[in-house]
């Protein structure tokens, strides 16, 4: 083992970066590991290289993305030890961390570990979801942020949640040919969410942001069908047709790309591997590590 740090953080997204800079301020020897080549996590993926190498994409992604540059810059200035391109695949019971970098396995010791590995897109297993051409909407977001790439041909987005709308609005701004947004949210879902509305109004800027995204999609002339069900993808070698039911009628759209999205779920691979206790979040419907009021998991030091 090369070295032992008081504090190792896995994940250089906003959570990991904020924790690392605070630890450094408190004069704690800290190391950040992340599998991406640049700091920023999912929301600010590749923010620095996008700004310098792909200014058109940088401007298309807008202020909510560009603000990540300030965070990334402060982190770089903070002097925190940071190893990019490091995929952590194992943490031993003594908290030594094993990671893969440039094809080599390396190891570092930790007295305390912060798992800040964020969220991942929830898989959406509809019939035909393994056909080439069917992918996650957040995966399209990854391609846009990391390489400025957008899907060619006819695109359909289907599912629910803010990232669906964010991706639709960004792809529309990039002149992608979007045939429709198929919303799986039903009237019943909206009614079930009603009791949460008063609390949501305290964060009304998020509600307004959501409404603005929907408006941008509609203004781009993209048809939106709500409450769709029986969604499936068909094709022989790749996606050819998106089939769904809307208002009791079966419908079909010929398309080259179908982007699915039903929200994100906690990325629990490392906390599972560590043996942390997990609990089910009934409202959000995902497993996440059980934490005490200080953020400690059931495993000592994590």
**To 10 degrees, the CA torsion angle through 76, 79, 83, 84?**
0
The answer to the question of residue 121 lying near ligand FAD (CB under 6 A) is: yes
Specify the stretch interacting with ligand FAD by CB under 6 A; choose among 111-119, 193-201, 210-218, 225-233.
111-119
- Starting at the earlier edge strand, list the strands of the sheet with 81-83: 81-83, 30-33, 4-10, 104-115, 97-101, 87-91
| Count of residues in contact with ligand FAD, rule CB under 6 A | 31
The answer to the question of residue 116 lying near ligand FAD (CB under 6 A) is: yes
Nearest residue (CB) to ligand FAD, 37 versus 127: 37
Residue 83 bridge partners (DSSP): 33
* Binding-site member from 15, 28, 173, 299 for ligand FAD (CB under 6 A): 15
Q: What's the length of the chain?
A: 302
The answer to the question of residue 11 lying near ligand FAD (CB under 6 A) is: yes
The answer to the question of residue 302 lying near ligand FAD (CB under 6 A) is: no
Give the three-class secondary structure for 291: coil
Give the β-pairing of 224-226 and 177-183.
Answer: parallel
Q: How crowded is residue 227: how many other Cβ atoms within 10 Å of its Cβ? A: 16
The answer to the question of residue 13 lying near ligand FAD (CB under 6 A) is: yes
CB of 230 to ligand FAD, least distance (A): 26
Specify the stretch interacting with ligand FAD by CB under 6 A; choose among 110-118, 173-181, 190-198, 282-290.
110-118
- Residues between 257 and 296 with contacts to ligand FAD, criterion CB under 6 A: 264, 267, 270
Nearest residue (CB) to ligand FAD, 11 versus 128: 11
Q: How crowded is residue 178: how many other Cβ atoms within 10 Å of its Cβ? A: 24
- Starting at the earlier edge strand, list the strands of the sheet with 154-160: 134-136, 257-262, 154-160, 177-183, 224-226
CB-based burial, 134-156: b 16+ in 10 Å, e otherwise:
bbbbbebbbebbbebebbeebbb
The answer to the question of residue 36 lying near ligand FAD (CB under 6 A) is: yes
The answer to the question of residue 34 lying near ligand FAD (CB under 6 A) is: yes
The answer to the question of residue 115 lying near ligand FAD (CB under 6 A) is: no
Give the β-pairing of 229-234 and 249-254.
Answer: unpaired
The answer to the question of residue 35 lying near ligand FAD (CB under 6 A) is: yes
Binding site for ligand FAD (CB under 6 A): 10-16, 33-36, 41-43, 86-88, 116-121, 138, 141-142, 163, 166, 264, 267, 270
């Amino acid at each position: 083992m090369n070295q032992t740090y008081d504090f190792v953080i896995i994940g250089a997204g906003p959570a990991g970066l904020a924790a690392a800079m605070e630890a450094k301020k408190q004069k704690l020897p800290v190391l950040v590991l992340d599998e991406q080549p640049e700091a920023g996590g999912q929301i600010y993926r590749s923010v620095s290289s996008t700004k310098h190498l792909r200014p058109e994409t940088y401007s298309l992604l807008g202020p909510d993305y560009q603000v990540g540059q300030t965070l990334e810059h402060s982190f770089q200035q903070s002097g925190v030890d940071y190893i990019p391109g490091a995929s952590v695949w194992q943490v031993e019971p003594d908290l030594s961390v094993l990671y893969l970098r440039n094809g080599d396995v390396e190891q570092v010791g930790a007295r305390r570990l912060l798992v800040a590995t964020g969220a991942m897109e929830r898989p959406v297993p509809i019939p035909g979801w393994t056909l080439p051409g069917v992918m996650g909407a957040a995966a399209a977001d990854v391609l846009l942020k990391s390489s400025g790439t957008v899907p060619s041909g006819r695109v359909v987005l289907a599912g629910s949640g803010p990232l669906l709308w964010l991706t639709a609005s960004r792809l529309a701004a990039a002149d992608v040919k979007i045939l429709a947004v198929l919303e799986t949210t039903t009237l019943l879902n909206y009614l079930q969410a009603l009791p949460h509305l008063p609390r949501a109004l305290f964060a009304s800027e998020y509600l307004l942001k959501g409404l603005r995204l929907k408006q941008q999609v509609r203004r781009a002339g993209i048809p939106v069908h709500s409450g769709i069900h029986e969604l499936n993808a068909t094709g022989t070698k790749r996606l050819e047709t998106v089939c769904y039911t809307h208002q009791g009628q079966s419908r079909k759209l010929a398309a080259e790309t179908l982007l699915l999205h039903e929200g994100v779920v906690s990325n629990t691979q490392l906390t599972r591997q560590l043996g942390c206790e997990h609990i089910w979040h009934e409202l959000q419907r995902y497993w996440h590590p059980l934490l005490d009021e200080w953020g400690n998991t059931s495993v000592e030091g994590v």
